[in-house]
Amino acid sequence: MKAVVLHEYGGPDKLKYEDVADPVAGAGQVLVRVAATSVNPIDYKLRRGLFKDFMPLTFPAILGNDFSGIVRSVGAGVSGFAAGDKVMGLADSADAELVVAKVGSMTHLPDGLDLVEAAALPVVTLTGEQLITRGTKIQAGQTVLVSGAVGSVGRSAVWAAKQAGAVVIAGVRKSQVTEAAAVGADQVLALDDASAMEKLGFVDAVADTVGGETAEMLLGKVKPGGVFASVVGAPGNAALHPTVKVEAVVMQADAVRIRALAEAVAAKRLVIPIDRMVPLAEAGAAQAAAAKGGIGKVLLLA
């Protein structure tokens, strides 16, 4: 099969479109002919070697986690999936024509969801939902501010918080205020507007997707006993706010929730914008575009 292979850490040019051996489904696994995968921040951060101290790659490496496609074969002990099924989910080494996935990390494609577009969903929707459900643990009637609310993870977090019955503030840049009106939050706040930030009172929780100075500023807006949950690590000033519980959220695969979130997208209750679709062979350019930020999901067509 063809795959996008990384032989050493470095820039997008280090991603090579090459022939590699076909994977084989083992016990409890499914072999899928990939229709599409997608680019996530973890992909280009791993490629650069930013996580090599605690998530080192073994070279040659194939990146990618999201996938959608058609089941080709199933391993021993697998039930519920058969050759020809349309599926989507999470797997290692997804930037390839074939991928092996665990049955607990994948689901059948819901009716009404495009097979290719489904590849945009698993990582970002699960991450956003778990930022709320496992991170903030927000309750009905409480107020949560979601930073980066127009991003894919942020949109998913807003949706999950509204599902929980929370009052949701969409935190965005001033240039994104108009766009943010469509994400389903109760209020929109420009985080780079000093006067608007001064008027913001204490909130029960912050669901952070951006980090940096913005996160440090928002940590001070969480009421004592509240929660600051983040998918990008604790703010640098966390020690200065001992009364706030800081939660680091790392997405965990969950086939049931992948299905539920995909059904929400199929029903247009949750919208994850797709910016472009490019051939798998152009993964380097796709990662470079995604890394600049400010765009929707980038899909790789296998």
pLDDT digits (tens, 9 = 90+) for 116-169: 999 999 999 999 999 999 999 999 999 999 999 999 999 999 999 999 999 999
As beta bridge partners, residue 88 has 68, 107
Q: What is the mean pLDDT of residues 285-291?
A: 96
Is 259's pLDDT higher than 90?
A: yes
Question: Which residue did the predictor score with more confidence, 54 or 242?
Answer: 242
For a pLDDT cut of 90, what percent of the chain falls above it?
A: 99
Q: Which amino acid is at 35?
A: A
Q: What is the mean pLDDT of residues 184-189?
A: 97
Does residue 217 contact residue 189 with C-beta atoms inside 8 Å? no
The pair of structure tokens assigned to 298 is: 């980038």
Is 250's pLDDT higher than 90?
A: yes
For residue 294, name the pLDDT band (cuts at 50, 70, 90).
Answer: confident
Is 241's pLDDT higher than 90?
A: yes
Q: What is the mean pLDDT of residues 56-83?
A: 97
- pLDDT tens digits for 220-238? 999 999 999 999 999 999 9
pLDDT at position 43 is 96
Q: What is the mean pLDDT of residues 2-28?
A: 97
Q: Give the global pTM.
A: 0.96
pLDDT mean across residues, the chain: 97
- By mean pLDDT, which of 96-105, 270-279, 286-295 is the weakest? 286-295
Is 176's pLDDT higher than 90?
A: yes
For a pLDDT cut of 70, what percent of the chain falls above it?
A: 100
For residue 177, name the pLDDT band (cuts at 50, 70, 90).
Answer: very high
pLDDT at position 78 is 97
Does residue 17 contact residue 283 with C-beta atoms inside 8 Å? yes
Q: What is the mean pLDDT of residues 77-105?
A: 97
pLDDT at position 111 is 96
pLDDT at position 40 is 97
